[in-house]
Amino acid sequence: MWNMFTASQRCVSAGPFQTVMQKGRLNHMLFSRMKTTLVEPDKALHGRSSSVLVNPTFHDIFGIPVQKVPENSEVAYFALGCFWGAEKLFWNTPGVTNTAVGYAGGFTPNPTYEEVCSARTGHTEIVKVSYDPTKVSYEKLLKIFFENHDPTQGMRQGNDIGTQYRSAIYTTSPEQLATAQRVRDEFQTAFTRARYGPISTEIAPIGEFYYAEDYHQQYLDKNPFGYCPIHATGVTCN
């Protein structure tokens, strides 16, 4: 359904501004402003009571339900732009035991992809990462996160523009929250040295996480030539 190859094709926005690109530069500016402004809670779409993903849905790499957290694993949530490439980045990380893509940080329960694309849910595209802390630390996952996108871009990553592409870390414990804030501050020093602006990554405890549709799960395994680049800057922090 969404086997697209360019940023402009990857997400077609729904809603009253769907055809705004045909109406001139002013409307284009209004459309862009809407896409990069978080929706107010009372204006968010209503969503639905049930998940858009069948449970169980089996992981193409790990062979277990994407909804499952394996025994002795902990969970982290990372949003770094398009979730297709981000999920692949983490499923290839040694010590990661499961991954799933979905939506979080917004207001609409169980949204569809088209609804998230409309900028009327408040959600960001995010990866749920299950990991074995005896094999890979949370701090190591944070390092991978900050090194594989540009966390200073606000409501975009490269050509992907909108609130759904914002950088975010949602935490599952006070310890994760403190570690994420510390690592962000360390990376801010490195980004400032490299002449980037302030890191805009949202860091907060996880609220509700909603699974994305099945065709998004392990998308780049199903579609190896799909569009979804990693926007690494080359900035690192040791």
Task: Give the tokens for residue 206.
Answer: 């996880």
Helix (H, G, I), strand (E, B) or coil at 149: coil
What phi-psi label fits residue 29: left (phi over 0), alpha (psi between -120 and 50 degrees) or beta? Answer: alpha
For residue 27, the tally of other CB atoms under 10 A from its CB is: 14
- Partners of 155 in beta bridges: none
- How far apart, in whole angstroms, are the C-alpha atoms of residue 117 and residue 113? 6
Widest CA span in the chain: 55
Q: Is 82 a catalytic residue?
A: yes
Given the residues 82, 117, 228, 237, select the one marked as catalytic: 82
Catalytic residues: 82
